[in-house]
Structure 1
C-alpha cells in the first residue's frame, strides 16, 4: 500500500533560521520511519509509482543512505536534489535505564545532574513537571503548551510550533484514547516554561513538537525536561524507541543512544521552471552555509543565532 501523500512542499529560502520567502511545488511525499527498517541505499532511483495529477515528482524524507549522496544530479528526465543529510538520532528504550546511563561519561552525567539540581534550587527545592497521556488530560496540555509554543523561535521563525486547531486537538484525543501520545510540561511558579509533545506509532515516540520559554534559556529547561521524561519512559517500559526525527542538534546527539545517516531526497520532473527553482534553492543554501562559516570564524555565529531566535 502506497504511503505517498500529495502536498505543496515549500522550498524555503533561508539565512540560518530566518526564512526570507518560500516557493511551493506539488509533490508526492513519503517519510521513512525507524519501524520500516529500510536498508541504506547507495544511489537514488525514481519510484516505480506513477505521478498523480498535478504532481511534479517525489520527496522521501529520512531515507537511510550508505554514503553521502551528490547534492544535485540529473538523468532520464529527472532532477535528483539532496538538500539535507543528517545523523538521524534516536533512543533505544529497550536497553534498560542503567545501560542508558552508562552511555554517558561521568563528566556528562555530572553536568546534566548539576543542571537538574540548579533548576530544582531555582524552583524552591521541588521540580514541578507533569505528564499528559489520558484523553481527559490532553486538552489541558494543549491549553498550557500552545501559548508557550507561540513564544518560541520554532513558531516564530520556523513555522514549527505546536498547531492550534480543532483537528489537531481531535487527533490528540484519539491518540490519548489509544495510549498513543505523551505530552510533558515543566513549570515554574505554576507557569509552563518547556514542553515536549510525542505522538506514538508502532511503539515509536516521535519528538514532534518541542519548545521552551526564551527567558529560561540559560537555565537549560529543555535539557531538564528531556532528562526527566526519558527517565520516566524507561521506568514505564511501554515503548521501543524515542525518535528525535529529522535534523541534527547537540541536544539530540547528547541524549541519543544510536544514529543513522539519512537524507531528504527530492526527485523532480525536469523542466525549465523546476530547474530554476532547484538550482536557486541550492545556491541560497550554499550562500547561507558560506555566510555561516564567515560569521563563525569571526566568533559571531552563536550571538547572531541568539538574536534571531530570541529577539523580541
Structure 2
C-alpha cells in the first residue's frame, strides 16, 4: 500500500480564525509518523519522476527538519513552500505515571491538582468521567461528544469539530474492534463537558480531537480530562507515545515530555496557478501575523479573538 494519498490540498486565506477564501492544489500527501521520524535519514524526499497522474506535487506533513527553512524557495524542479514550522510535541509513555509527573515542577503539579480539586468540588465531590474503547461504546461516545462539539468555536467558526459522518463512525468502530481507539468524556453530573478522541497507530495514541463546553472554560475541563486520560494510558501499558500532532500551544508544551522541530513541506510544480496560490497564501499569512502583532501591541488581540470565536 502506498504511503501517499492523492487529494486536493486546501490553502485557506485567513485572518486569524476567519477564513476569507480558499484554493486547492491536487497533490500526493502523507504525514510522517512518530515512529518513522525516529530515523529522519530514512525519509526519502520524492522526485519529479514520482508524480502520480494529475498530481501537482507532494505535501509532507510533520517532516523533521534540522534548521529553519525559508517560507518559499525554488528547489530542483519544484517550488518548496513551508507554511508551518513548529516544535512537534509528544509524550513518551514508556515509563510510569509516577515518573511522568516528575517532569513537572512542584508548582505546576500543585496547579494541576488544584484544578482537579476545584472541578471535583464543583461536581459536589464526585469526579465523573468515562473511557470508551469497545465497538459497542462508539455510539454512546459520539452522541455525548457531539453534544459538546456543537458548542465549540472549532465547529462554529472553523468547521473543525468532531466529525459525525457515518463513515467516520464506522472507522472508529473498526479501530475499536482492533483495540486502536481511546476516547474519553468528562461529565458534570450527567452533562458531558469535555471529550478527547485518540485513534492509535503503531502503538501511538494520536491527539485527534479535543473539545470542551466553553461555559466550563474557567474550570479547565480540557486540562482535567487530559490528565485523567494520560494517567489511564500510562497505567494500561502497550502504548509507546502520545502524539500531539502538528502545531504548538501552551497545552501541548505543558504536557509534552519531548519536542522535535518539524515542518509542513510542499514541493509543487512551478506553474503560474500554483505559484500564485502559494505566494498569495504566504502574503496573507504574513499579513495576518502582522495584524495580530499590532492588535497585541495595543492590548486588544485577546478581545478580538474572543469576539471571532463567539465568546463576547
Give, in whole Å, the separation in 2 of the partners of 1:180 and 1:49: 36
- The answer to whether structure 1 residue 156 and structure 2 residue 119 are counterparts is no
Give, in whole Å, the separation in 1 of the partners of 2:274 and 2:70: 18
Q: State the match for 1:29 in structure 2.
A: 29
In structure 2, the residue corresponding to 1:231 is in which secondary structure? helix
- The answer to whether structure 1 residue 288 and structure 2 residue 288 are counterparts is yes
Provide, for residues 108-133 of structure 1, a one-character-per-residue CA deviation record: whole Å limited to 9, x for no partner: 01111111110001111111110000
Bigger mean CA deviation after superposition, 70-79 or 289-298 = 70-79
Give the deviation of 1:301 after TM superposition.
1.7
Provide, for residues 134-176 of structure 1, a one-character-per-residue CA deviation record: whole Å limited to 9, x for no partner: 1111111011112321221122222221111111111111111
Matched residues, number: 310
Provide, for residues 71-123 of structure 1, a one-character-per-residue CA deviation record: whole Å limited to 9, x for no partner: 11014331100000011101111121122100000000111111111000111
Give the deviation of 1:310 after TM superposition.
3.4
Give the deviation of 1:46 after TM superposition.
4.3
Q: State the match for 2:302 in structure 1.
A: 302
For structure 2, the residue ranges without an aligned partner over 5 or more in a row are: none
Q: State the match for 2:277 in structure 1.
A: 277
Whether contact under 8 Å (1:186, 1:192) holds in the other structure is: yes
Bigger mean CA deviation after superposition, 295-304 or 227-236 = 295-304
Whether contact under 8 Å (1:32, 1:38) holds in the other structure is: no
Give the deviation of 1:10 after TM superposition.
0.7
Please provide the CA RMSD for this pair. 1.6
Q: State the match for 2:248 in structure 1.
A: 248
Whether contact under 8 Å (1:244, 1:252) holds in the other structure is: yes
- The answer to whether structure 1 residue 265 and structure 2 residue 272 are counterparts is no
Q: TM-score, normalised by structure 2?
A: 0.95
Give, in whole Å, the separation in 2 of the partners of 1:262 and 1:47: 21
In structure 2, the residue corresponding to 1:119 is in which secondary structure? helix
Whether contact under 8 Å (1:89, 1:245) holds in the other structure is: yes
Provide, for residues 176-200 of structure 1, a one-character-per-residue CA deviation record: whole Å limited to 9, x for no partner: 1111101001111211110000000
Give the deviation of 1:45 after TM superposition.
5.4
Whether contact under 8 Å (2:37, 2:64) holds in the other structure is: no
> In 2 relative to 1, CA 96–265 (structure 1 residues): closer, same or farther, beyond 3 Å?
same
